[in-house]
Amino acid sequence: MRLLRRRASVLPGFGLALGFTVSYLGLLVLIPLATIFVKSAALGWGDLWKTVTTPRVLASYRLSLSASLLAAVVSVVFGSIVAWVLARYTFPGKRVVDALIDLPFALPTAVAGIALTTLYAPTGWIGRVLAPLGIKVAFAPLGVVVALTFIGLPFVVRTVQPVLEDLEPEVEEAAASLGASRWDVLRRILFPAIRPALTTGFTLAFARAVGEYGSVVFISGNLPMRTEIAPLLIMTKLEQFDYAGAAAIAAVLLLISFVLLLAINLQASARRRAAPATHPA
């Protein structure tokens, strides 16, 4: 194929490797995903619109998006403090703490779900403390935020931490020797340097949170209109064999995911253009 013309290379296996890659991805991921759009398109625009704008569906989108947003913000705030502490300070047990950051990636979401629910239930270790204060976490929207913060934290830490570690101390020293206060350095040098990483971490955490299921379904209580997230509503529709309805809700969720994926990639390529010498982590 002329379209796939490549730079002359002595290495063999290009056709085989690329052919396998594209067919595998196509057959297992892309074509199956296309069924969501085909199935929801079969509803026709009128019914599709009606399905995704019923009050219950809208409430689930609102909860999924707002809880994900809040959780991503909390993850950015605490994630950057954690990244800073890990990159700049030494303290006993630092290596264990550093390894533990990835726990939300490694711990199955169902385990996280039942553990967080047990902690924050009114009888749980944390819920018992919060209940007299009138703060309800488990089986309330706040519980969704807690679960999504758990899921989102490592995305922020792992994008910000390497950037902080790679910063040249000379720049800060130069600023200091020219009379800048620590606050000036933070505001004028450190923050601009980590801002792209913060944005990427935020987007990654948010994107993951919007689709998250396992850690949320236990703690949320799943009340329609109140604590029902969009992925759970898809699950409910599937269990009722309303495939077209499930596909319609999923199509909107997929569009949100693709926009976020595009945003992440655009940020990455903008950074590559800005700093062509740095290697991807």
Q: What are phi and psi of 174, to 5 degrees?
A: -60, -45
> Which of the residues 159 through 218 are near other proteins (CB under 8 A)?
169, 172-173, 175-177, 180-182, 184-185, 207-208, 210-214, 218
User: Could you give the CA distance from residue 62 to residue 52 in angstroms, rounded to a whole number?
Assistant: 12
């990654």: which residue's tokens? 204
Where b means 16+ CB within 10 Å and e means fewer, 163-172 reads: bbeeeeeeeb
Among positions 193, 222, 254, 271, the unique one binding other proteins when judged by CB under 8 A? 254
């040098």: which residue's tokens? 189
Closest by CA to 102, choosing from 117, 116, 112, 113, is: 112
Among positions 73, 109, 167, 222, the unique one binding other proteins when judged by CB under 8 A? 109
Cβ contact 258:216 at 8 Å: no
Is 271 an interacting residue with respect to other proteins (CB under 8 A)?
no
The span of 130-138, 191-199, 220-228, 261-269 binding other proteins (CB under 8 A) equals: 261-269
| Close Cβ partners of 194 (under 8 Å, ≥ 6 residues apart) | 80, 160, 163, 164
CB of residue 95 to other proteins, shortest distance in Å: 8
The span of 35-43, 53-61, 65-73, 133-141 binding other proteins (CB under 8 A) equals: 35-43
CB of residue 108 to other proteins, shortest distance in Å: 3
Among positions 48, 82, 148, 194, the unique one binding other proteins when judged by CB under 8 A? 82
Residue 97 or residue 223: which is nearer to other proteins going by CB? Answer: 97
CB of residue 185 to other proteins, shortest distance in Å: 6
User: Could you give the CA distance from residue 173 to residue 169 in angstroms, rounded to a whole number?
Assistant: 6
The span of 28-36, 52-60, 131-139, 191-199 binding other proteins (CB under 8 A) equals: 28-36
Angle, CA of 258, 83 and 275, to the nearest 5°: 60
> Which of the residues 47 through 76 are near other proteins (CB under 8 A)?
none
Among positions 58, 62, 105, 166, the unique one binding other proteins when judged by CB under 8 A? 105
Which string of x and - marks every residue 119-158 that binds other proteins (by CB under 8 A)? x----xxx----------------------xx--x-----
User: Could you give the CA distance from residue 109 to residue 211 in angstroms, rounded to a whole number?
Assistant: 12
User: Could you give the CA distance from residue 171 to residue 263 in angstroms, rounded to a whole number?
Assistant: 30
Among positions 45, 46, 55, 95, the unique one binding other proteins when judged by CB under 8 A? 95
Among positions 89, 134, 192, 276, the unique one binding other proteins when judged by CB under 8 A? 89
